[in-house]
Amino acid sequence: MIYLDNAATTAQKPPEVIETMRTFLEQNLQGNPARGGHAVSLQALAAVEETRALTARFFGVGDARQVAFSFNVTAALNAVLKGLLKPGDHVITTCTEHNSVLRPLYQLEAAGVALDIVSLNDAGLIDPHELAAYLRPETTAIVVNAASNVTGDALDLRAVADICHAHDLLLIVDAAQAAGTIALDMSALGIDVLCFTGHKSLYGPGGTGGIVLGDDTDPARFRPTLSGGSGIQSFSRVHPHVMPTLFEAGTQNVLGLVGLSAGIRYLNGIGMARVQARLTHLTHFFREHIQSVPGVTVYGAFDRPEVTRAPIVALNLGAWPAAEISDLLAEDYDIATRPGAHCAPLMHEALGTTDQGIVRFSFSTLNTEAELATAAAAVRDLAMRL
Amino acid sequence: MSEGTDRRPVLAMPDYILASFDSSHDALTAEQTARAAGFRARLVPTPERVRAGCGLSLRMNPEDVKKIDAVMREVGIEPSHYTLMTADRGRRVYVPLDLSQMRESEEDVT
């Protein structure tokens, strides 16, 4: 199979991720961190804290305690949004968001938080300056993705951060598609809160993710949305309000975090600048190979070289349902893609694809030009057969 | 690449039926049940226009739909709806099927 559904999850992991997790299990190192003073518990704690330090450095944060782990980016976004926003607050987001942002915000809206959603401009992009048009005195935060999970188009986060900081707002970033595909230095970009998942382009296993607060982001602004065992302050009736415990309750996914650390090390070994360049190359390589396919529509701002992108090519063939195109690619050509709405309903409304869906091809560092050439030939072949 | 003379035959578009569900759990159970009963059926992505709750639907041959519906209901799986997927001049056409009518006619037969 040629696996081109990496925006859903990277099914192929680097060998060092597999080996690191296997060794950790085989050596019986998976103790319960911060729950005992014996060697196995302490080794597990050291493994989790090493992942925390690696994660902080990866996102340009100096204090590792500003990193809290969760089980995926959805859990992270829920914890941040529901821990921050309260009735009377106002929040601004965009139509390009995934349901992991939209649904928590709709829940909060029902509870009295005011919500504005910015639309695409004529170029099919989010104009950061349009976000500013929705500012109110009670605006608390702007929540945006770093890159669309439908088109791969990235947002100019620095421009959004400038708006946020000029008005004392928090910039909360959903980095599901950008973490590990686009270099994200939170300090340089001015990101106050970043939520990530480990199983996509950070090459970790499922069940990993987290919240990264910027070095200047005050954890006191957030309420814990989970409470329970923490390994600290056990006689307190309330969950500790200190990072990282603020967002962590119960036993950590130690084995998963060990795998995540190996994934981040894999990326560090290549260097994020080279990773991003490689993925950008693969994306344009595929797009160039399919752009002349009869009846193809490619979504996203490929005609704007200034737009950074996650490694995604989203397309349709004629008016054919994306679900059937994806099924034919899987059945007849052994190529894995993702059709449908991609949990981004407003983006599909904006693109006019609610009835058709979109076929999404998404790439990882482990894909090759040969694979993408084969996939592009399959798209062409399919278009000729339809 | 298959450009030029190496063009493959035009895609055959046989009619088929999609059973759609409210959850992925039901979709997978339905596939396992249908296959265990000897039917050729498989999970496919649900087209957007079907508007089902679950992103996976069970694809089956039209002649098997009543029998597969019966074996699914035996294990407590009830599709939210059925859609006949047919084609007209190279475009996909969706025909919702009336479940109750279909089952009544099945009961008449049996």
Helix (H, G, I), strand (E, B) or coil at A145: strand
Q: For tokens 């986060």, name the residue.
A: A157
Contact B109/A at CB under 8 A: no
pLDDT at B14: 85
Name the residue among A348, A354, A380 with its Cβ closest to that of B1: A380
Contact B46/A at CB under 8 A: yes
Say if the Cβ atoms of A328 and B11 lie within 8 Å: yes
Using an 8 Å CB-CB cutoff, list chain B residues near A324. 44-45, 47, 92
Going by C-alpha positions, the residue among A2, A3, A5, A13 that lies closest to residue A202 is A13
Which residues of A make CB contacts under 8 Å with B? 319-324, 326-328, 339-341, 348, 353-357, 377, 380-382, 384-386
More confident: B52 or B94: B94
Please, which pLDDT band fits residue B110 given cuts at 50, 70 and 90?
Answer: very low
> Per-residue pLDDT tens for B82-99?
999 998 887 889 999 987
DSSP-derived letter for residue A237 is: S
Distance from CA of A317 to the nearest CA of B (A): 12
- The helix (run of H) or strand (run of E) holding residue A107 is helix A99-110
How far, in Å, CA of B8 to CA of B10, rounded? 6
A-chain residue closest to B57, CA distance: A323
pLDDT at B9: 59
Cβ burial, residue A377 (10 Å; 0-12/13-18/19+): middle
Whether the per-residue pLDDT at B108 is higher than 80: the answer is no
How far, in Å, CA of A212 to CA of A130, rounded? 26
Please name the amino acid found at residue A196: F
Say if the Cβ atoms of B2 and A322 lie within 8 Å: no
pLDDT at A45: 92
pLDDT at B12: 72
Counting residues of chain B whose pLDDT is more than 70, the rounded percentage is: 85
Say if the Cβ atoms of A327 and B45 lie within 8 Å: yes
Please, which pLDDT band fits residue B1 given cuts at 50, 70 and 90?
Answer: very low
**Residues paired with residue A139 on neighbouring β-strands, in sequence order:** A90
Residue A200 near residue A218 (C-beta atoms within 8 A): no
Using 50 as the pLDDT threshold, list the residues of chain A that sit under it.
none
What tokens were used for B50? 């079907």
Name the residue among B3, B7, B47 with its Cβ closest to that of A357: B47
A-chain residue closest to B43, CA distance: A327
A-chain residue closest to B13, CA distance: A386
Strands B81-88 and A296-299: unpaired
Mean pLDDT of chain B: 84
pLDDT at B51: 75
Name the residue among B8, B49, B90 with its Cβ closest to that of A381: B8
Helix (H, G, I), strand (E, B) or coil at A225: coil
Please name the amino acid found at residue A165: H
Say if the Cβ atoms of B46 and A354 lie within 8 Å: no
Please name the amino acid found at residue B7: R
Whether the per-residue pLDDT at B8 is higher than 80: the answer is no
The CA–CA distances, whole Å, from A156 to A130, A132, A347 equal: 12, 14, 18
> Per-residue pLDDT tens for B9-40?
567 778 999 999 999 999 999 999 999 999 99
Contact B51/A at CB under 8 A: no
What count of CB pairs under 8 Å joins A to B?
Answer: 58
How far, in Å, CA of B2 to CA of A380, rounded? 8
Distance from CA of B4 to the nearest CA of A (A): 10
pLDDT at B13: 78
pLDDT at A230: 85
Residue A113 near residue A143 (C-beta atoms within 8 A): no
DSSP-derived letter for residue A294 is: T
A-chain residue closest to B8, CA distance: A385
Whether the per-residue pLDDT at B4 is higher than 60: the answer is no
Backbone phi and psi for residue A334, each to the nearest 5 degrees, phi listed first:
60, 45
User: Starting at the edge strand that comes first in sequence, how are the strands of the sheet with B81-88 ordered?
Assistant: B41-45, B56-60, B16-20, B81-88, B91-97
Q: For tokens 């070095």, name the residue.
A: A215
Using an 8 Å CB-CB cutoff, list chain A residues near B3. 380, 384
How far, in Å, CA of A354 to CA of A78, rounded? 26
pTM for this predicted structure: 0.93
How far, in Å, CA of A69 to CA of A7, rounded? 21
How far, in Å, CA of A297 to CA of A357, rounded? 12
Whether the per-residue pLDDT at B67 is higher than 50: the answer is yes
B-chain residue closest to A341, CA distance: B48
